Amino acid sequence: MTTTHVNVALGASSYPIQIGSALLGNAATYAHAARGAQALIVTNTTVGPLYAQALAAALVPHHAQVRTLALPDGEQYKNWETLNLVFDELLAHGGDRKTTLYALGGGVVGDMAGFAAACFMRGVPFVQVPTTLLAQVDSSVGGKTAINHPLGKNMVGAFYQPKLVVCDLDVLKTLPARELSAGLAEVIKYGPIHDMAFFDWIEAHIDALRTLEPAALAHAVQRCCEIKAEVVGQDERESGLRAILNFGHTFGHAIETGMGYGAWLHGEGVGAGMVMAAELSRELGLVDAAFVERLTRLIGRVGLPVRGPVLDATDNAGRYLALMRVDKKAEAGEIRFVLIDGPGRAVVRPAPDALVRQVIDRCCA
């Protein structure tokens, strides 16, 4: 398979995304990005045993010392306590401003390693080596780094760009089916917000994607990275356009927080959240029922939930609204939703609480 390159154009902070096979264990992959005498691979207890040794061997030609730190695995560990393990490791072994961090794992590892890199000595270089589909098509690209707070997901973090993103499609072969489905939620979102021709393609190739057919997988990852790179290149710090990438996430983050981190995977929350956001778009007259049904059907086909959970038996919609007011897009307590303003075009705008309540009541189990 030919390696393809997508560039994230951010001036002095620009960097390439490499997409292909046999990249992770190839020393040449990292020649562009390696910095300093020390490298720290930040991974987790699930991914580390599978890929840390191969990555370390590839980094030996570039760094005099290569160490590996395996964090506990799971969204529930995306917190200050776990983040401090990275700082402890760096300080205990003489990390300096040229030490390079390598994030080997899914979105949780990528977010935490990136945030650690942003904070340690006020910023050291880092490289994203995402091992889940969700991380390859979304979270590893664009420089969003964060940890969770008990009151809200990803509420403590920084914008900090990597030097390189390495999307080795071979590693997806070890991905559990549930994680693959969660990643497909982030693939699907790019259609309604930006590219309905890609949405058509996803519908036609969904079975190939679910069976990890190499050509289909390569095209999906490349197209998602192209769209995200284009959006991030215009709005790095989410002052406007970039917010459209959060389609389904306002509802989805409420689900993740309300259920307890780790009970629902991020992509599962986004899947049900996209249905809610589409239904709210329909209520506001922006799309028709046929579009909502089409999107809901595709989300269900990839094995994702299409109905949200009940977070509070007495006032479920009220609980959702309270959690969504903590969302980063909220302004002065007003929730701003990413809505579909006609297929292939997104808009960020508020909606009346009464209407949101109706949608939540209709869309939750």
Judge whether 62 counts as a catalytic residue.
Answer: no
Judge whether 331 counts as a catalytic residue.
Answer: no
CB 278 within 8 A of CB 220: no
Catalytic residue among 78, 153, 249, 336: 249
Judge whether 253 counts as a catalytic residue.
Answer: yes
DSSP strand E in the chain: where? Answer: 4-8, 15-20, 38-44, 65-71, 100-105, 126-130, 144-149, 152-159, 164-168, 336-340, 346-350
Catalytic residue among 144, 163, 328, 336: 144
Q: Which two tokens stand for residue 100?
A: 């390079």
Q: Which two tokens stand for residue 147?
A: 């940890």
Catalytic residue among 153, 246, 256, 283: 246
Whole-angstrom distance, CA of residue 225 vs CA of residue 130: 13
* 139 φ/ψ angles, rounded to the nearest 5 degrees: -70, -25
Catalytic residue among 219, 228, 282, 336: 228
The count of C-alpha atoms lying within 13 angstroms of the C-alpha of 281, restricted to the half-sphere facing its C-beta, is 31
Judge whether 186 counts as a catalytic residue.
Answer: yes
Catalytic residue among 253, 282, 328, 336: 253
Judge whether 210 counts as a catalytic residue.
Answer: no
Catalytic residue among 189, 242, 282, 336: 242
Judge whether 266 counts as a catalytic residue.
Answer: yes
Q: Please name which of 305, 128, 295 lies closest in space to residue 228, comparing C-alpha atoms.
A: 128
104: region left, alpha or beta (phi > 0 left; psi from -120 to 50 alpha): beta
DSSP state of 6: E
Judge whether 328 counts as a catalytic residue.
Answer: no
Judge whether 319 counts as a catalytic residue.
Answer: no
CB 279 within 8 A of CB 293: no
Whole-angstrom distance, CA of residue 363 vs CA of residue 365: 7
Catalytic residue among 63, 219, 266, 282: 266
Judge whether 249 counts as a catalytic residue.
Answer: yes
Whole-angstrom distance, CA of residue 312 vs CA of residue 296: 24
Active site residues: 122, 144, 186, 228, 238, 242, 246, 249, 253, 266
